[in-house]
Structure 1
């Protein structure tokens, strides 16, 4: 009678066990589905990246190659006496233009600054400086990133100041020498890397 009173039908035990098993299996299935979906997303992204056209210029020069084209120097060796920022340079140019709008510069210093500012803001292929590029040797190449100017100077006293964002009539020989000499910078930054890419692409373009 004890066994009869304590007897539990098998169906009821299965009824209790099935929901637990179903819950456990659903959790496992959900985890597996999440893993599979994440794998599919990753493979999908990688395939999309593979299909997308890569930037040729970025492939041409890696970060390490760009760093090899520059030399980081002490800050005190890169100071610009007159020009500290790009705004100073633009203001100086506007003042000099206003000063010599109606009169011609007479003093040597006045002529020098007027010519240099014209070269900076209005590059002209007929300028004598660009015609003398074949005589440019043994140069140093600096970047003043505060005012966005890079400066090429030679042992013979030839100085070329150029705005980073402008194109100048530099010969391929001068461009090649600039890369060989390496760019002197205060620090590795985006401006120096973009300048190196631009100069490198100008050197490489005639070969294609």
Structure 2
């Protein structure tokens, strides 16, 4: 029997890799990370406060506007047991700056609207700050802290990794942890 992936174990591994990443990045260390891309992921969420397990698809993208500014957006639609489920739309912008060779420091501010399948909708802001860069030759990593104001305010830790098969196509893994629950997402991303 195949044992399911544990998001906590994956995240500990990603944090360990991120902590040594600047010294490990070789070939891509002089290559800037791309801010014009689109992706699709399968997402599984566990919301402790609502005793809810749900899954679905998430489509997202980013567009480099000028110099260090970029726009971003995300649409997630999940459903699950016990009347769970929601559709979340997020749109906003961000700014990035070089932290070290091959690594960027960034911040974003977005508007987020969540429409639960059962219950009232809510709109709020998401402020996030993080780092993105090359952990290995074809492996890009991300660590981010994001604060959401929809419903009950919550702050989450987001970790991610993209394995680039080519300069344009990557497999993606993202995990998220907050006081309300955790999620794991697997998918693909394409640079433009």
TM range (shorter): under 0.3
Give the TM-score normalised by the residue count of structure 1.
Answer: 0.20
Q: Which has the higher strand share?
A: 2
TM-score, normalised by the number of residues in structure 2 = 0.21
Which of 1 and 2 has higher RCO (CA within 8 Å, sep 6+)? 1
Q: Which has the higher helix share?
A: 1
